[in-house]
Structure 1
Amino acid sequence: MILRILLRSVAVFVPVFLVATFVTFALRALSGLTPAHLQLGESATPETVAAIEREWGLDRPFLTQYGDWFAGVLRGDLGVSWYNGADIAGLLFEGAIVSLSVAGLALVIGVVLGFGLGVLAAVRRTTWVDRAITGAMTAVSVMPSFVVGIALVAVFAVGLGWFPSAGYVPADRDLGLWLAHITLPAVALSLDTVADVARQLRAGLVAAYRENYVTGAIVRGLGPRRIFFRHVLRNGMGPALTVLGLKFPALLGGAVVTESIFGMAGFGKFAADSAQRGDVPAVQGVLVVSVVLVVVFNLLVNVILARVTPASARGV
């Protein structure tokens, strides 16, 4: 069953990856930028531009360049930066550690709080608890992460001094400081995930409670706890897991603004700086890594869906 789900997911994701990498590589041709623009600036002449393009292999046919670049991507070689000649994979690895630390903690917060609040609202449906959680999640979902980030800095970093206001410390240097630096940006990023997961889980569980198999379980005398965990939760958590898969790209994208607020040199800052400089290979590397991360995460979500929800396992 799991193998079938994996094969079906790969059959979808491979064409997506191929199209995404082709479009990504076509950015250079569409942008009209070359390394000469970064190295020579306004002093560039047609002769010097042609010489630098020849040096970088940009005078070859487009499909030949794409084939060589794609082969390098499959080997983990994303090329070198036009800006400083540095290895792009190495630069991205350094920034990705920062961003994945923040996005990973935000995902954990979103899962724990989202599932907890969604279950509580569903179990206490139609009560004041359900209405309070639903109202709070609606309010949270419309709050931009950068506004939340600024408020968190003002209250918990500047006002109370509980957390650092900016910067990043690697986990291998000091685990406590690492967690302290990523907590506020992770909380700012996680609130939208918490709200959407909680609302989708609540709706899925309430719908599952209305199914005939739950009524039959009650008639057979099964306890509320057993009914919830064996029948309601497994069949009602599918929409929440699907939303969770869609939220991961949003977490990576939200890191661009959040990292700027908290002064973190992460994936988003590297992407923004590269785009402003016109460093096309670096931007291409960012897009490729983003596509890979999103594809892998959605593949994991599909496997989890097939494992825990009967309808997904049957392809329903």
Structure 2
Amino acid sequence: MSAAGLSRVKRAGVRVASVAGRSIAIFVPVFAVATFVTFALRTLSGLSPAHLQLGESATPENIARIEHQWGLDKPFLTQYLDWFGNLLSGDLGTSWFNGADIARLLTEGAVISLSVAGFALLIGVVFGFGLGVLAAWRRTTWVDRGITGFTTFISVMPSFVVGIALVGVFAVGLGWFPSAGYVPADRGFGVWLAHITLPAIALSFDTVSDVARQLRAGLVAAYRENYVTGAVVRGLSPRRIFFRHVLRNGIGPALTVLGLKFPNLLGGAVVTEAIFGMPGFGQFAAQSAQRGDVPAVQGVLVVSIVLVVVFNLLVNIILARVTPASARGV
């Protein structure tokens, strides 16, 4: 590699490292505050494992005994520091409901939910970017207007309505996909993919719509810049102008939207998993909240926070690599 190439690679590495450092510096205090608020849920809720285990027969003596076993008679900050220390070592605590390890229960559910959300995100990226690029390429034509109308239409369709319609047409009517349940990937990739396809499509509509519209707007704005006019005057081909100048400078808003969509995909899993009968992350969260199983709910919130923080960190790094202006805070 030439000296100029090595210099560009070095500058890109420094730029990415700078963005990663700034992002981590922001996310660490956010994570600390979020975990503190999450832990405070038990005190705010007024719930206790004694009420969950003893029910109507709870007496003050039995309540005090059980809360002592769980360490709930310690000062609040002591409880939080103990819990946070265990959290850093990967210990999310024990369920009040059945005494099971919360980390294990969450791992089982998270695999299902991340399979669906990840596939939905992939669908959103592929179709959103495809439609956005096509609309910008054929801007002001009937193709552009048709794509804009289509993305506006699917953006107002709730995922549970889409899910029910997909089950009725493709599962019950045509029999192409299973209507409910989940099969792990180790039991066959094709069977696993068939079970997550319909819920992933139901979740992906909003992502497809927002990514396509943001990308189309960013690319159209980039086409109006002076550097594109200069490239046209220099005789560069439309393909080179698009990939070297327009796409790189217009993709930023669409990537930013992806960072905001990931939490929505995790949240939407609660309804989607109920429709498709999948024992995932969302179902576990809903059942734990209904039971009053506070440690399980805290574990769900912590894992959600970590997933969202990590995903946004990756998006920021990609933004810094693809659009250099973002690394300068522009």
Q: Please, which of 100, 109, 112 is the counterpart of residue 98 of structure 1?
A: 112
Q: Distance in 1 between matches of 2:270 and 2:31?
A: 23
Aligned to 2:3: none
1:26 aligns with 2:40: yes
TM superposition shift of 1:161: 0.2
What is the DSSP-based 3-state SS (H/G/I as helix, E as strand, rest coil) of the residue aligned with 2:184? coil
Q: Distance in 2 between matches of 1:45 and 1:157?
A: 52
- Structural mapping, 1:282-297, within 5 Å: 282-297=296-311
What is the DSSP-based 3-state SS (H/G/I as helix, E as strand, rest coil) of the residue aligned with 2:185? coil
Aligned to 1:232: 246
Aligned to 1:314: 328
In structure 1, stretches of 5+ residues that fail to align are none
TM superposition shift of 1:313: 2.4
One-letter amino acid of the counterpart of residue 18, structure 2 = R
Aligned to 1:200: 214
Aligned to 1:177: 191
Residue deviations 1:85-141 (CA, integer Å, cap 9, x gap):
000000000000000000000000000000000000000000000000000000000
Q: Distance in 2 between matches of 1:212 and 1:313?
A: 22
TM superposition shift of 1:308: 0.3
Residue deviations 1:265-306 (CA, integer Å, cap 9, x gap):
000000000000000000000000000000000000000000
- Structural mapping, 1:66-81, within 5 Å: 66-81=80-95
Aligned to 1:121: 135
- TM-score normalized with structure 2 length: 0.95
Aligned to 1:41: 55
One-letter amino acid of the counterpart of residue 235, structure 1 = N
Aligned to 1:280: 294
Q: Please, which of 50, 53, 67 is the counterpart of residue 67 of structure 2?
A: 53
- TM-score normalized with structure 1 length: 1.00
Q: Distance in 2 between matches of 1:174 and 1:244?
A: 30
TM superposition shift of 1:310: 2.2
Residue deviations 1:174-230 (CA, integer Å, cap 9, x gap):
111100000000000001000000000000000000000000100111000000000
Q: Please report the RMSD computed on the Cα atoms of aligned residues, expressed in angstroms.
A: 0.4
In structure 2, stretches of 5+ residues that fail to align are 1-14
Q: Distance in 2 between matches of 1:95 and 1:74?
A: 20
1:62 aligns with 2:114: no
Q: Distance in 2 between matches of 1:46 and 1:174?
A: 53
Q: Distance in 2 between matches of 1:47 and 1:258?
A: 43
One-letter amino acid of the counterpart of residue 192, structure 2 = W
Q: Distance in 1 between matches of 2:298 and 2:179?
A: 31
Q: Distance in 1 between matches of 2:46 and 2:264?
A: 29
Identical-pair percentage: 83
Q: Please, which of 138, 146, 151 is the counterpart of residue 137 of structure 1?
A: 151
Aligned to 2:7: none
TM superposition shift of 1:314: 2.0
> How many residues align structurally?
316
Q: Distance in 1 between matches of 2:216 and 2:258?
A: 14
One-letter amino acid of the counterpart of residue 192, structure 1 = D
What is the DSSP-based 3-state SS (H/G/I as helix, E as strand, rest coil) of the residue aligned with 1:40? helix
Q: Distance in 2 between matches of 1:32 and 1:256?
A: 25
Aligned to 1:87: 101
TM superposition shift of 1:47: 1.1
Q: Distance in 2 between matches of 1:287 and 1:310?
A: 33
Aligned to 2:10: none
| Shift >2 Å, 4+ stretches | none
What is the DSSP-based 3-state SS (H/G/I as helix, E as strand, rest coil) of the residue aligned with 2:100? coil
TM superposition shift of 1:46: 1.1
1:246 aligns with 2:260: yes
